[in-house]
Chains A and B, each alone.
Chain A
Amino acid sequence: MIYCRFQEAPIDINEITQKVGKDSDGAVVIFTGQARNQTGEKEVTRLEYQIYQEMAEKELEKILRDASAKWNLTDCVVIHRFGKVLPGQVSIIIGVSSPHRDEAYSSSRYIIDTIKKTVPVWKKEFYRDGSSWITKGS
């Protein structure tokens, strides 16, 4: 099963654990990315994610289809936030399942790395004294 969506509301991690994994799977890998409270010396007070929604959904689906086919995954689920995300909050969650762990670990890494290269989403960091767009994968 492939499933993905973008949402403004906080992510409920339990939703992923319920969606991912069948009895035939020996491995479920769940990755969560969260907003850091610091960049270099600067304290980050919040992030704002901007999204090109129509294209982002297409690009994300492509990545999941590719990963699912390449590693023969049972389930492959991604939920990505947009809008305001506070430090410590989950900004993305990726859940994959497969009969064996190698496929689950490798595909999870591929999915997050490829999202950071191709899915049109941009984050802006806000500090106590200003803000800046982050335009390189981090």
Chain B
Amino acid sequence: MKITVKTFATVTDITGFSSSSIEVKGEKTVGHVLRDLQGEYPGLKNISDSLLMAVNEEYADHHHELKEGDVLAIFPPVSGG
């Protein structure tokens, strides 16, 4: 199953990509994808407690089940205004 992962701010600095298509194997939850990414980009582990996730532009938690074609965004706490 393929999904698109988007990153912002410090997460882009750590992963080196702002948007990437990835193949999800096994468990299809947000938490699982995040754990895989942390394996690939260890720098994410340092900020894992503060990371926020959104699926198709809506905030989502670790248990959210992903579907083919979903857009998963991963980012640090927001700082607008």
Q: Do A and B come from one complex?
A: yes
Does A24 lie at the interface of the complex (its beta carbon under 8 Å from any beta carbon of B)? no
Interface size counted on chain B using CB atoms at 8 A:
19
Whether A118 pairs with B81 at a CB distance below 8 angstroms is: no
Supposing A54-B57, A58-B57, A120-B73 touch, asked if A49 and B80 sit within 8 A by C-beta, the answer is yes
CB distance from A65 to the nearest CB of B (A): 15
Q: Size range of the interface on A?
A: 20 to 34
Whether A117 pairs with B78 at a CB distance below 8 angstroms is: yes
Whether B81 pairs with A55 at a CB distance below 8 angstroms is: no
Whether A120 pairs with B78 at a CB distance below 8 angstroms is: yes
Residues of B within 8 A of A135 (CB): 9-10, 50, 76-77, 79
Does A124 lie at the interface of the complex (its beta carbon under 8 Å from any beta carbon of B)? yes
Residues of A within 8 A of B78 (CB): 116-122, 137
Interface of A toward B, CB cutoff 8 Å: 33, 49-52, 54-56, 58, 80, 91-92, 112, 115-124, 133-138
